[in-house]
Amino acid sequence: MTNTAHTTEQHAARIFLSQARRPDLANTPRLYTRGPAGSFQPLLWSDLARDVERLCAVLIELGVDVDTRAAVLSDTRAEWGVAGLAIVAARGTLVPVYPSLTDESLVYVLSHSQTRVLFVEGQRDLERVMRLWPKLALEHMVAFDEVDHAAAAAASGVDEALVRERALSYSTSVGARGAALCARDPRLVEARLDRARGDDVAYMLYTSGTTGAPKGVPLTHDNVGSNGDDWVKINGPLIDEGDRDLLWLPMSHIFGWGEFCLGNQLAMQTYVSSPASVLDDLSEVRPHIFMAVPAYWEKLAKTAITTAGADASEDARRAELLRVTGGRLRFCLSGGAGLTRDIKDFFYSAGMLIIEGYGLTECSPTLTLNRPDDFDFDTVGKALPSVELVLADDGEILARGPNVFAGYYKDPEATAAAFDDDGWLHTGDLGRFTERGFLQIIGRKKEILVTAGGKNVPPANIELRFASDPLVSHLVVYGDGKKYLTALVDIDESAARALLGDEQSRLSRAQLRAAPALHAEIQARIDRVNNTLARYETVKAFVVAPEPFSVEDGLLTPSLKIKRKQIYARYAAQLDALYR
């Protein structure tokens, strides 16, 4: 059955439960996950709906209600989806948390959001969070996997009685405990859903700013629901009920969570994968739908070209690409950063149109999309039906619509800076419209790097960690649209000569800056900083600038701040060489 109808329902849990109660869907698979034997096993709509309702009942018993924050700290898995739906069904606010966060960042997000309930994967996460327990306002945790409370207490130094009291079992919650609560009050969950409002805050997402701590972005059911409905109006006709979707993106990102929710709305059969297995799963599952960040589309293209062989014809390369991707892809979506034209052309030549768009977390997240029947590969598409876009005098993209958030959580100054008096959100991105009305992104007004994996990285947060290093005059992080971050390093030559000793005192500037011992010392210092960062924030390679930065050469402002755009332009060749 082709998806052509649109729903006025904006609530993710209501949409899911309504679909799960359809007689033609209830006893059919909604998800497939790897079982103990390694093969994909089906999870029925009806079974997942039962688990959502039971877990929701437990959350209600724990006091979750409107404005209660409940977080999920986990890689993508079926239980992630159940937990997320149960949280919003209870009128709570879902706070997705990246497992890769450092302890410092994890404490900040959970504390700033005032999270009371936290879902974790298993033993390792339980022990980690219990070590941080005194710094948090948490009341309960729920572990997806079975855990050893005594071992967690011993590893974290927390009283075992506290661990047993606060760390609940997911299997018990969706089993006996949840079943008893639902049996006692069969309308418990429905009554809570009846009270839900479109302006309830459904999600609290944390996005990095240019400096300082990440900002909380509250999104309501109406925000996200309107964006989803626009998406379905544009792309729904491409997707049939029962189509196979391979979900491997992190559900802690709005891209991955959105894919899961759209699967509920469009009645897909979603196979849950992971970054480690997605390449093999593509050829096994042979999905009709695949969503990925640019870095992975690039990997698929490179895999096909390499496997086909250096002397292979274009037809042979296209045939290999079809084999690698399963040969049935009908809907391909790329998001999180820009995808290069050559990759889009290669897939299109093999019969696969990769749809690309543009958006921000603050916009739930999509503002523009290329349409299946109206696209321009050199652009990010046209505005969604309910979105208004204009350009400011300086070319900054301004947005307005029901998908746009109302303001940052507990940050009135950032909110005031984000909106003008007419209610337009200032995106910080610069753009232009083509004659046909397609939007092109031409730069960023704000200094945020977006990696090819879709991670937002404020470079200043990394660079500031080197500000007090006597050896490093300036370190400039690079990597917008790249698979990983690199850096350009300007050294303090006096400190470098002192570090290297007398034998280096007569080296020329070029010899000094190329000295292996100096490079080894810089690498050691970068390694120490990397150990304090999330994996996607780490600097993987560097190059030393051949000349010191100065005001006179246009690389520093009069107040000795770096001029990022000019530095990138001057050293683009050296920095890009680090990716070869």
- Go through the domains of the chain in sequence order and give each one's CATH number: 12-25+41-217 (3.40.50.12780), 244-448 (3.40.50.12780), 458-579 (3.30.300.30)
Nearest-5° angle of CA 558, CA 562, CA 568?
Answer: 135
Instruction: Point out the least confidently predicted range of 111-120, 265-274, 315-324, 337-346.
Output: 337-346
Q: Measured between alpha carbons, how far is 327 from 53 in angstroms, rounded to an integer?
A: 37
HSE, side-chain direction, 13 A CA sphere, residue 117: 29
User: Which pLDDT belongs to residue 502?
Assistant: 66
What is the residue type of 474? H
The residue ranking higher by pLDDT, 12 or 558, is 12
User: Which pLDDT belongs to residue 411?
Assistant: 96
Residue 5 pLDDT > 50: no
DSSP assigned state of 7: -
Q: Measured between alpha carbons, how far is 337 from 322 in angstroms, rounded to an integer?
A: 24
Under DSSP, is residue 289 helix (H, G, I), strand (E, B) or coil? strand
Nearest-5° angle of CA 551, CA 552, CA 558?
Answer: 30
User: Which pLDDT belongs to residue 554?
Assistant: 86
Using pLDDT thresholds of 50, 70 and 90, give the confidence band for residue 394.
Answer: confident
Q: Find out whether 92 and 64 touch, Cβ atoms under 8 Å.
A: yes
The residue ranking higher by pLDDT, 310 or 578, is 578
Q: 338: closest CA among 476, 482, 229?
A: 482
Q: Find out whether 430 and 441 touch, Cβ atoms under 8 Å.
A: yes
399-441 residue pLDDT tens: 999 999 999 999 999 999 999 999 999 999 889 999 999 999 8
Q: Is 310 exposed, middle or buried (0-12, 13-18, 19+ CB in 10 A)?
A: exposed
Nearest-5° angle of CA 275, CA 279, CA 283?
Answer: 140
DSSP assigned state of 78: H
Residue 363 pLDDT > 90: yes
User: Which pLDDT belongs to residue 306?
Assistant: 87
Under DSSP, is residue 8 helix (H, G, I), strand (E, B) or coil? coil
User: Which pLDDT belongs to residue 255?
Assistant: 93
The pTM (predicted TM-score) of the whole model is 0.86
User: Which pLDDT belongs to residue 141?
Assistant: 98
Residue 271 pLDDT > 80: yes
Q: Measured between alpha carbons, how far is 450 from 454 in angstroms, rounded to an integer?
A: 6
User: Which pLDDT belongs to residue 1?
Assistant: 53
- What mean pLDDT is predicted for residues 198-222? 86
The residue ranking higher by pLDDT, 245 or 506, is 245
Q: Measured between alpha carbons, how far is 397 from 391 in angstroms, rounded to an integer?
A: 5
Q: Find out whether 472 and 357 touch, Cβ atoms under 8 Å.
A: no
User: Which pLDDT belongs to residue 80?
Assistant: 99
Under DSSP, is residue 530 helix (H, G, I), strand (E, B) or coil? helix
33-44 residue pLDDT tens: 999 999 999 999
Under DSSP, is residue 132 helix (H, G, I), strand (E, B) or coil? helix
Instruction: Point out the least confidently predicted range of 63-72, 308-317, 515-524, 555-564.
Output: 555-564
- What mean pLDDT is predicted for residues 479-493? 95
User: Which pLDDT belongs to residue 571?
Assistant: 97
- What mean pLDDT is predicted for residues 521-534? 96
239-252 residue pLDDT tens: 999 999 999 999 99
User: Which pLDDT belongs to residue 81?
Assistant: 99
Using pLDDT thresholds of 50, 70 and 90, give the confidence band for residue 102.
Answer: confident
What is the residue type of 218? P
Residue 356 pLDDT > 60: yes
108-126 residue pLDDT tens: 999 999 999 999 999 999 9
Residue 268 pLDDT > 70: yes
Residue 209 pLDDT > 60: no
Q: Find out whether 196 and 71 touch, Cβ atoms under 8 Å.
A: no
User: Which pLDDT belongs to residue 4?
Assistant: 47
Residue 147 CA to its chain's centroid (Å)? 28
Q: Measured between alpha carbons, how far is 293 from 286 in angstroms, rounded to an integer?
A: 19
Using pLDDT thresholds of 50, 70 and 90, give the confidence band for residue 212.
Answer: low
Q: Could you tell me how many helices (H) and strands (E) the chain has, helices first?
A: 23, 25
Using pLDDT thresholds of 50, 70 and 90, give the confidence band for residue 210.
Answer: very low
Q: Which long-range contacts (CB under 8 A, 24 or more apart) does 130-138 make?
A: 130/155, 130/156, 130/158, 130/163, 130/167, 131/155, 131/156, 131/157, 131/158, 132/103, 132/106, 132/107, 133/158, 133/162, 135/107, 135/111, 136/107, 136/110, 136/111, 137/110, 137/111, 138/110, 138/166
- What mean pLDDT is predicted for residues 210-235? 89
- What mean pLDDT is predicted for residues 92-108? 94
Residue 208 pLDDT > 70: no
Output the average pLDDT for the chain: 93
Q: At what angle do helices 188-195 and 176-184 cross, to 10 degrees?
A: 80
| 73 CB neighbour count, 10 Å cutoff | 24
| 413 CB neighbour count, 10 Å cutoff | 8
Using pLDDT thresholds of 50, 70 and 90, give the confidence band for residue 469.
Answer: confident
Q: Find out whether 80 and 72 touch, Cβ atoms under 8 Å.
A: yes
User: Which pLDDT belongs to residue 421?
Assistant: 96
